[in-house]
Structure 1
Amino acid sequence: MNTKMAVIKEDDFNYDAVFEAAEVIRAGGLVAFPTETVYGLGADALNSEAVKKIFEAKGRPQDNPLIIHVADKDIKKYAENISPIAEELINKFWPGPLTIILSKSSIIPFVTSANLNTVGIRMPASKIALELIKASGVPIAAPSANISGRPSPTDFERCVEDLNGKVDYILGGNISEVGLESTIVDCTVNPPCVLRPGAVTLEMLKAIHKDIYIDPAVMKKPAENLKPKAPGMKYRHYAPKAKVKIIEGDLKKTIEKINEMVLNYIDENLKVGIMATDESLPFYKFGEVISLGSRKDLNSIAQNLFETLRTFDDKNVDVILSEAFIREGIGIAIMNRLTKAAGFDIITLD
């Protein structure tokens, strides 16, 4: 397959490229495109054959449901039993990095919902994404634009790396502002339940409804027989080629432990990557060290997380050692992605 590509600059918006990509969507093809969270791999959400191509291109399990992306807040065509709380969340956080799970209408094919009677719906804030959906005239089903299981792409080049020759069109734009996939809230239950943490934090959600909570399973290793209700709940996700280990505890003790482990790995002739922060960077003398940003700005750490994991792949490291982060605000989402990338391999220090 010959993949066509175009990059759109925010200050010189290329509607021709958007219309060209929209034609691909309408014809049942696949388009990778930017959103404010991560890049998505899109197809017509109402076209079963087109949606099947997403699973094939990504190597994605068929029981892993897709999120559909819309260009306005009127979703009655796609969802049923929209509760007042769901409407409040939509009015507050759309467009933006929040996905709402609702009972699906019959117009949504079961291949899109992974045979569930529910569907996740999101209105992205990215101008390119919104204009693509509008021009296509259909909702766009779009998981992240990567090979299934790998760290999600936050820029055009990483989409090309994973999907060139596997999709019809790659539409590029700026680096994703958030860097983590959307928060997912299940509004088919009362109180609503967070199935995937993201940039719309629990604290922000509780301002709408004080009883909203995070599913305890979010930070636990999933059962083999789990039927996932939302993307990212069951399968190995966000993982680079190297083995990832998280060291969690007091920062000073964490640095000491990582330095000790690095020397042991070097003795075994293994190449080690260290995911550090601005505060800890000066204290690591060995290994490939990359700072995710400052602990005072967890949003920057979130934005840099996936790209850093991919950079370690570029450097062909064998093991990645990562510091842990505070489990509040967007830190919960960071630790959710890190924990899954590490396959729940966490060393907890006293």
Structure 2
Amino acid sequence: MEARVSAKIASLSAEQLKLVEKGARIIRRGGLVAFPTETVYGLGADALNTDAVAAIYEAKGRPSDNPLILHVSSIAMAEGVVEINARARILMEKFWPGPLSLVLTAKDVVPSRTRGGLSTAAVRMPDAAIALALIEKSGLPIAAPSANVSGRPSPTDAETVRSDIGAKIPLVIDGGDTRFGVESTVIDMTAGSAVLLRPGGLSKEAIEGALGEEVLLPQDQNIIRRSPGTRYRHYAPSLPLVLCCAQDVPKGARRWAWMGISEPQGEPCAQMIFKDKAEYAKELFRALRALEKSGAEIIYAETPDETGIGRALKDRLLRASGK
């Protein structure tokens, strides 16, 4: 793992490293930096600095009881902020760096503000060179929700970050488009069984294969709230969003836009067709922002099946629609 992290950081250009060094100085001073991960762009601050974390909530307009994920660059750094059990370590060694966040018992060093007032904290190691370098150079775990106005579609490119919150923060590091387009999978590892709190870039099936056991779905709302992105409406475009099958768009629907894998019946004023679920997920948030500017009055979106990345994609679509 250490070798993979070092290799990724070594792949950065001199110009990128210069921006990372600037970002690390801002983080150490208690400031905010937007940066790319493999999932979406994050809005980062020192996870152990209460005032810095408070600035994240203020910049996003984020509810104060919505916890933040701590981004680390090594298992040793994770051990400094949470209690790691044997099963969690299996997943870290298998899938880190990658789009997997693990909810574990927080250590006292993690401020209550970072944890959203909970006794647990979510940690992950991002699989993106700029993100890993920023954590390494700052020497701190970085708390980082998506770098957008709370409730809006998450940003998957730097320009979206700038248009949403660029005026509120000192630095946006541009790393191009993100690879997954949906946030990390969040798994609660504090009990006897692993519990899926939020589907994301790593499939439930892959996690079950690594653990050799079923990953349960949550039954208790108090457990669900340990994950960000599960209690409030998220990812919402400015237009109504309705999920349906390609053949079920209502006849005579008002001026409408379409997105999905299949061609719709009828005549949308704008449409975005993707080759498969992976591309649908990767382009979802960008598509929502584009279609809300298309002149349509409503967006119809194809409902994916729940295998692989489809589970995360369907979750984001449901939340964007307000369901």
Query: Using a 3 Å threshold, how does the CA distance of structure 1 residues 315 and 264 change in structure 2: closer, same or farther?
Result: closer
The equivalent of 2:258 in structure 1 is: 274
Residues 307-348 of structure 1 deviation map (CA, whole Å, 9 limit, x = unaligned): 10111123253211111101111100000000000112xxxx
Sequence identity percentage: 40
Pick aligned residue for 2:316 from 330, 337, 341? 337
Q: Which segments of 5 or more consecutive residues in structure 2 lack a partner in the other structure?
A: 1-10
The equivalent of 2:189 in structure 1 is: 187
Query: Using a 3 Å threshold, how does the CA distance of structure 1 residues 76 and 10 change in structure 2: closer, same or farther?
Result: closer
Per the TM alignment, residue 22 of structure 1 is displaced from its structure 2 partner at its CA by: 0.8
Pick aligned residue for 2:142 from 122, 134, 140? 140
Residues 50-79 of structure 1 deviation map (CA, whole Å, 9 limit, x = unaligned): 000000000000000000100112222111
Q: Given residue 243 of structure 2, which amino acid in structure 1 is its aligned partner? A: I
Query: Using a 3 Å threshold, how does the CA distance of structure 1 residues 227 and 94 change in structure 2: closer, same or farther?
Result: closer
Q: Check conservation: 1:10, 1:173, Cα contact below 8 A.
A: no
The equivalent of 1:326 in structure 2 is: 305
Q: Given residue 144 of structure 1, which amino acid in structure 2 is its aligned partner? A: S
Q: Equivalent residues in 2 for 1:106-125 (5 A)?
A: 106-125=108-127
Pick aligned residue for 2:240 from 234, 243, 246? 243
State the 4+ residue runs in structure 1 displaced beyond 3 angstroms.
Answer: 9-13
Q: Equivalent residues in 2 for 1:278-297 (5 A)?
A: 279-280=262-263, 283-291=265-273, 293-294=274-275, 297=276
Q: For 1:330 and 1:290, how far apart are their aligned partners in 2? A: 18
TM-score normalized with structure 2 length:
0.92
Per the TM alignment, residue 213 of structure 1 is displaced from its structure 2 partner at its CA by: 2.2
Q: Given residue 342 of structure 1, which amino acid in structure 2 is its aligned partner? A: S
Q: For 1:122 and 1:185, how far apart are their aligned partners in 2? A: 11
Per the TM alignment, residue 214 of structure 1 is displaced from its structure 2 partner at its CA by: 4.2
CA RMSD of aligned residues (A): 1.9
Secondary structure at the aligned position of 1:79 is classed as coil
Q: How many residue pairs were aligned?
A: 312
Per the TM alignment, residue 287 of structure 1 is displaced from its structure 2 partner at its CA by: 2.2
The equivalent of 1:258 in structure 2 is: 249
The equivalent of 1:78 in structure 2 is: 81
Q: For 2:207 and 2:313, how far apart are their aligned partners in 1? A: 17
Secondary structure at the aligned position of 2:115 is classed as coil
1:311 aligns with 2:290: yes
Query: Using a 3 Å threshold, how does the CA distance of structure 1 residues 311 and 10 change in structure 2: closer, same or farther?
Result: farther
TM-score normalized with structure 1 length:
0.85
Q: For 1:226 and 1:88, how far apart are their aligned partners in 2? A: 22
Q: For 2:36 and 2:30, how far apart are their aligned partners in 1? A: 19
Q: Given residue 305 of structure 2, which amino acid in structure 1 is its aligned partner? A: I
Q: For 1:143 and 1:85, how far apart are their aligned partners in 2? A: 25
Q: Check conservation: 1:226, 1:234, Cα contact below 8 A.
A: no
Per the TM alignment, residue 233 of structure 1 is displaced from its structure 2 partner at its CA by: 1.0
Q: Check conservation: 1:194, 1:212, Cα contact below 8 A.
A: no
Q: For 2:123 and 2:133, how far apart are their aligned partners in 1? A: 17
Q: Equivalent residues in 2 for 1:35-114 (5 A)?
A: 35-74=37-76, 75-80=78-83, 82-114=84-116
The equivalent of 2:163 in structure 1 is: 161
Q: Which segments of 5 or more consecutive residues in structure 1 lack a partner in the other structure?
A: 1-8, 248-253, 266-270, 345-350
Residues 120-175 of structure 1 deviation map (CA, whole Å, 9 limit, x = unaligned): 00000100000011111111000000100111000011000101211121111120
Q: For 2:64 and 2:266, how far apart are their aligned partners in 1? A: 43
Secondary structure at the aligned position of 1:164 is classed as helix
Q: Check conservation: 1:101, 1:121, Cα contact below 8 A.
A: yes
Q: Given residue 91 of structure 2, which amino acid in structure 1 is its aligned partner? A: L
Per the TM alignment, residue 209 of structure 1 is displaced from its structure 2 partner at its CA by: 2.1
Per the TM alignment, residue 89 of structure 1 is displaced from its structure 2 partner at its CA by: 0.2
Q: Check conservation: 1:195, 1:214, Cα contact below 8 A.
A: no
The equivalent of 1:5 in structure 2 is: none
Q: Check conservation: 2:47, 2:53, Cα contact below 8 A.
A: yes
Q: Given residue 161 of structure 2, which amino acid in structure 1 is its aligned partner? A: C
Tell me whether 119-128 or 313-322 shows the greater mean CA deviation: 313-322
Q: Check conservation: 2:90, 2:211, Cα contact below 8 A.
A: no
